[in-house]
């Protein structure tokens, strides 16, 4: 599944690059106002923080929600207390787009994450050109030299990388590149099975001062509390918000 998702993302990015050159997207990225301070927005505090996700569908669950106005949804997230908004821009299996990212960026004043299968420098420039402050880099999708290259590029453009890991080896790779924000995804991308306890297993190995993000397997406030007790500074939530009233659900999640 991951191989197919990456291949699709590369094909789509290659098609976009044929229509809009690398030089043009780099100019657009440079013309953007500076990225927001993600580290300040997500820094550890006495309360858990939430990255709320605009997510229409997923490969494991299919369609989740009709989201005709992602900007309105993002604004509701911020009113509900979200510290950042994640936007899935992958179109084939998640139903997202860069247009969604641009609409969300224009609607909120908190950091915005581009969540996609980022494996090409062109995609990083696209993220900045569309207003992203934070870019997902999946250790499982990149070898170490690619991870270093893209992480450095993200930082050179003033953005922050959320480096996603799934096991101890990937965690060490994230630490080695100097990631300041490290995520642990409970979803096994080979089987799509969930392990809510994976975060707690790996969190002790994340260096002090690094922002720790728990991803996936969140359906209730009890799940958020579970991650918080295991050391999460931030919890990324998508499905539970798009399939409910987001503001009331965020209130429950932030009260843990």
Active-site residues: which are they?
Answer: 53, 55, 115, 164, 185, 215-216
DSSP state, residue 142: S
∠ CA(154), CA(159), CA(165), 5° rounding?
65
Burial of 217: CB neighbours in 10 Å, binned 0-12, 13-18, 19+: buried
Per DSSP, the residues of 59-128 read: TTTEE----S-HHHHHHHHHHTT-SEEEEE---TTT---HHHHHHHHHH-SS-EEEES---SHHHHHHHH
Residue 174 to residue 178: CA distance in whole angstroms: 7
Q: What is the CA radius of gyration of the chain?
A: 17
* Residues in Cβ contact with 30 at an 8 Å cutoff, skipping those fewer than 6 apart: none
Task: Give the H or E element holding residue 57.
Answer: strand 57-58
Phi-psi region at 117: left, alpha or beta (left = phi > 0; alpha = psi -120 to 50): beta
Establish how many alpha carbons lie within 13 A of residue 205's alpha carbon, considering only the half-sphere containing its beta carbon: 19
Residue 25 to residue 104: CA distance in whole angstroms: 19
- Strand-pairing partners, residue 163, are 137, 182
- Helices (H) then strands (E): counts for the chain: 12, 10
């Amino acid at each position: 599944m991951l191989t197919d998702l990456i291949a699709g993302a590369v094909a789509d990015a290659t098609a976009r690059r044929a229509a809009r050159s690398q030089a043009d997207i780099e100019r657009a990225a440079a013309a953007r106002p500076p990225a927001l301070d993600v580290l300040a927005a997500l820094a550890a505090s006495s309360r858990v923080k939430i990255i709320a996700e605009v997510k229409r569908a997923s490969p494991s669950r299919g369609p989740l929600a009709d989201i005709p106005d992602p900007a309105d949804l993002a604004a509701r997230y911020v009113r509900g207390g979200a510290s950042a908004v994640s936007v899935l821009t992958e179109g084939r299996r998640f139903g997202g787009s860069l247009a969604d990212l641009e609409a969300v960026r224009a609607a909120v004043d908190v950091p915005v994450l581009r969540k996609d299968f980022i494996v090409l420098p062109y995609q990083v420039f696209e993220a900045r050109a569309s207003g992203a402050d934070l870019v997902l880099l999946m250790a499982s999708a990149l070898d170490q030299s690619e991870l270093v290259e893209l992480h450095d590029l993200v930082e050179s453009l003033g953005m922050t990388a959320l480096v996603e890991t799934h096991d101890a080896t990937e965690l060490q790779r994230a630490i080695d590149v100097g990631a300041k924000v490290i995520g642990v995804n409970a979803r096994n991308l080979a089987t799509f099975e969930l392990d809510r306890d994976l975060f707690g297993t790996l969190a002790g190995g994340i260096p002090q001062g690094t922002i720790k993000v728990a991803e996936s397997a969140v359906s209730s406030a009890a799940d958020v509390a579970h991650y918080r007790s295991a050391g999460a500074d931030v919890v990324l939530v998508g499905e539970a918000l798009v399939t409910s009233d987001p503001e009331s659900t965020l209130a429950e999640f932030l009260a843990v």
